[in-house]
């Protein structure tokens, strides 16, 4: 599949190459198509994937033929499952309306999305630093007009979402208390803004996926004893200064973590295989039994992750994260 790589980014050549990619993709069996996340996302699970995979149910793709990921974010686990298993029904959700808009746009309008992204890429890449800065903040303003409803075009709004994610500081997505996106510009020399090959493959893979803008508990009717459920909620902050839960304007505090643990039990009682990940409070306070108490009737596994504990880069290192498993 390497020979499908789109290297030249001028619009005309890209359009022709894109057609080639499409024709080749049409001939692939769906099983052979590998997909990967199309955005960076705070708390994204790509780096923990190998550990999480060890806990996938053995019957995944056989008796367990449904998958539910109710806090989808960048979807690292979803894309692994879409790449490697035949699953009959998939349900994904998130409360971030614009993020869900991007998933829907990739599913339903991938060609228009790619054209818009190439246009943004071709405008942005040749600019010098000052011009890029102006361009970035202009697009951020437009994106906030999309959030407020002033701009209604979901394809353009979704393209702005991906553009900002690829060019902003650390690929963060963060909004202020009014719900407006406020991440500053990043300093990437040549960010890849349009990965058309991956987007097209994702579009094919999403065709039978139910994509919902909703809180996690609305997945209840989908889940049954043949479902594998993965919950990756906003992390419980390890320190007061490390709080990062502003994926949208509603915060996810301890009360929400408690409600989620009740939902976990409910879903487990339905017979589903359920995995939940979160930060381990014991990294900073060994007497903090918050999750050990909440999930005392389930198996709590601690896995090593490379993460920042606080904003000081020198404090990065390996810390534990928890995986709660019910089987
Ligand atoms: C840790 S991230 C998920 C990261 C994802 N696993 C990945 O690999 O990129 C948590 C996600 O939960 C979403 N979220 C926050 N509150 C929610 C709720 N009540 N219901 C569903 N999703 C929610 C956030 O918007 C965010 O995208």
DSSP assignment of 28-84 equals: S-GGG-----SS--TT--GGGHHHHHTTS-TTBTTTB-EEEESS-TT-HHHHHHHHH
- Which atom belonging to ligand 1 lies closest to the Cα atom of 256? 19
- Which of 225, 257, 201 lies closest to 71, judged by CA? 257
> Closest residue (by CA) to atom 24 of ligand 1?
247
d(CA 70, ligand 1 centre) in Å: 7
Of the CA atoms within 13 Å of residue 222, those in its CB half-sphere come to 23
- Which atom belonging to ligand 1 lies closest to the Cα atom of 252? 16
Give 194-248 pLDDT, tens digit per residue: 999 999 999 999 999 999 999 999 999 999 999 999 999 999 887 765 545 466 6
> Closest residue (by CA) to atom 7 of ligand 1?
44
Handedness of CA 225, 228, 233, 239 (dihedral sign): positive
Pocket of ligand 1 (CB under 6 A): 41, 43-45, 70-71, 73-76, 93-96, 215-216, 232-234, 247-248, 252
* Lookup result for tokens 């818009």: 116
Give 34-82 pLDDT, tens digit per residue: 999 999 998 889 999 999 999 999 999 999 999 999 999 999 999 999 9
pTM of the model: 0.88
d(CA 202, ligand 1 centre) in Å: 19
Q: Which residue has the higher pLDDT, 282 or 202?
A: 202
Give the list of residues 6+ apart from residue 222 with CB closer than 8 angstroms, or none.
66, 68, 89, 91, 210
């Amino acid at each position: 599949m390497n020979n499908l790589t789109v290297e030249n980014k001028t619009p005309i050549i890209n359009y022709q190459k894109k057609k080639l990619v499409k024709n080749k993709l049409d001939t692939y069996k769906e099983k052979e198509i590998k997909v990967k996340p199309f955005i960076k996302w705070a708390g994204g699970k790509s780096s923990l994937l190998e550990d999480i995979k060890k806990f996938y149910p053995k019957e995944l793709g056989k008796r367990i033929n449904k998958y539910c990921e109710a806090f989808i974010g960048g979807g690292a686990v979803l894309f692994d499952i879409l790449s490697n298993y035949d699953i009959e029904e998939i349900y994904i959700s998130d409360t971030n309306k614009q993020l869900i808009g991007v998933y829907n746009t990739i599913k339903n309008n991938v060609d228009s999305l790619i054209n818009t992204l190439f246009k943004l890429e071709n405008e942005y890449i040749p600019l010098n630093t000052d011009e890029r800065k102006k361009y970035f903040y202009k697009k951020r303003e437009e994106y906030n007009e999309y959030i407020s409803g002033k701009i209604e075009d979901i394809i353009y709004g979704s393209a702005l979402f991906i553009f900002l994610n690829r060019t902003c500081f650390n690929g963060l997505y963060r909004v202020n208390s009014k719900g407006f996106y406020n991440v500053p510009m990043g300093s990437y020399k040549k960010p890849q803004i349009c990965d058309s090959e991956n987007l097209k493959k994702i579009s094919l893979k999403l065709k039978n996926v139910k994509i919902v803008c909703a809180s996690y508990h609305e997945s209840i009717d989908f889940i049954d004893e043949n479902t594998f459920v993965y919950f990756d909620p906003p992390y419980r902050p390890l320190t007061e200064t490390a709080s990062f839960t502003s994926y949208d304007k509603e915060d996810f505090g301890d009360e929400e973590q408690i409600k989620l643990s009740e939902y976990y039990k409910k879903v487990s009682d339905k017979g589903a295989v359920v995995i939940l990940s979160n930060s381990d409070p014991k990294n900073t306070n060994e007497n903090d039994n918050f999750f050990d108490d909440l999930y005392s009737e389930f198996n709590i596994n601690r896995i090593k992750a490379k993460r920042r504990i606080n904003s000081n880069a020198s404090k990065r290192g390996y810390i534990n994260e928890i995986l709660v498993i019910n089987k």
